[in-house]
Every structure is written in C-alpha cells, then in structure tokens.
Amino acid sequence: MQYRARSSNIGKSWNHLAQNVSSFGKKEDLEQPFDGLILPGGESTVQGKLLRELEMYDSLKEKIESGMPVLATCAGLILLAEHLSNDEHVYFGTLPVTVRRNAYGRQLGSFHTDAEVKGIGEVPMTFIRAPYIETADEQVQVLAHVDDRIVAVQYGAQIGLSFHPELDADSRIHEKFLGLIADCIKNNNCRKIKKICKNPLHFFAQGVILNE
C-alpha cells in the first residue's frame, strides 16, 4: 500500500502540471522516447535489484550520464549517490555526494517541516525514513539544509532530495525540474521520452514527457 500511495501522488503531481506520464516495466519499454526521469521513494535495495534483474540499469545509467534531467527523492537519492556512508552498495553513482541511508531512524522518525530551497523559497518537506547528504563535492550545488544537514542538491541536470515533494501541494520543485527538461530540449541534449515505472506495487522509476 505504501508504494501504491506514492505512485498515485506522483501521478497527481504531474497531472496538475499538465505533463504526460506512463508506466514501463521491462527494458524494451525504454526504447520509447521520454524527456526526464524520476527516481522516487521506496526501498533502494529492492529498487537497485529490480533495475538489474529487469535489465533496465545500463540503459538508464547511460541516459543519466548523457545529461538526461533526473529528479531523485529519498530512495532515488540513494540510487544516484556516488557513496553511501553506511552501506557498501553503490547503484548509479552519478551524483558526487556521500549519503547516509535511514539517517533519521525508522518510520517513527518521519517528520514534516518547512525550509528554504535555493532559488525557490520556503517549501514544505515530508521526510519518511529519509536519508541525508553528509558531504557533497565542490561542483555540487547545495539547495537546502534542515538542522544543518544537507537535504537537497543539484548537479548539472540531476536533482537529489531527501524528502518527498509529491506528498505536499507545493509544485515549485516539480516546476524547477520541468525547467531543466525544457532547457535540455531547447539545447538539443534530450530525446523525447515516456515515463518509467513498473507497476503500483513495485514502483521504482518514472519518466515525464514535456508537453509542447
């Protein structure tokens, strides 16, 4: 039920912004065009395992390394991180940061707050068994802190968040991500794409088509 709720909320976020999304569940689906990638919350270990078992890992990593815009939240941030301080696994490893998994403890350690995001303003933030970023390389732009801990960064076209923007009504982070996609298309760095996810019970990735 947890994954189903997240899938529904993410879909609502993009419907509100009049963007098209659709679901993928196998490597052949990635041959369809899409404009941007969302790596949402969930269980990063399971997500990483599914990406490899479904033979989607190599294709997605290549797209990310080629500059495709990515919005990664919570477990998605873990998938992007170059290092994990409390886990030997590395997944895509395209974001030069060190992340601590489950940094705020178990489910009971989940919380909600408001904090300033650079270039956006104060936004609501919902943290669910969240990670945080312990260190970030110099070329990484730190976008937000909560209690002196880094919870949002941007590196090129990759945005990594410790929290879940889709669980709140504020759409400005999603709009920022859409702006990255629009810039990518304008500069001819992106190919047309569709959304990537499996199904509501095994949801691990999502893509967006930017309406023209």
Which residues are the active-site residues? 74, 164, 166
Closest C-alpha to 127, from 141, 144, 142, 135? 144
Closest C-alpha to 158, from 90, 79, 71, 89? 71
How distant is the alpha carbon of residue 116 from its chain centre? 19
Is the Cβ–Cβ distance between 40 and 10 less than 8 Å? yes
d(CA 28, CA 104): 37
Task: Record the tokens describing residue 55, joined without a space.
Answer: 């033979």
Phi, psi for residue 3 in degrees, rounded to 5: -65, -40
Helix (H) or strand (E) holding 132: strand 132-136
Helix (H) or strand (E) holding 180: helix 172-186
Torsion (CA) 205, 10, 127, 111 in degrees, nearest 10? -150
Residue 4's identity, in one-letter code, is R
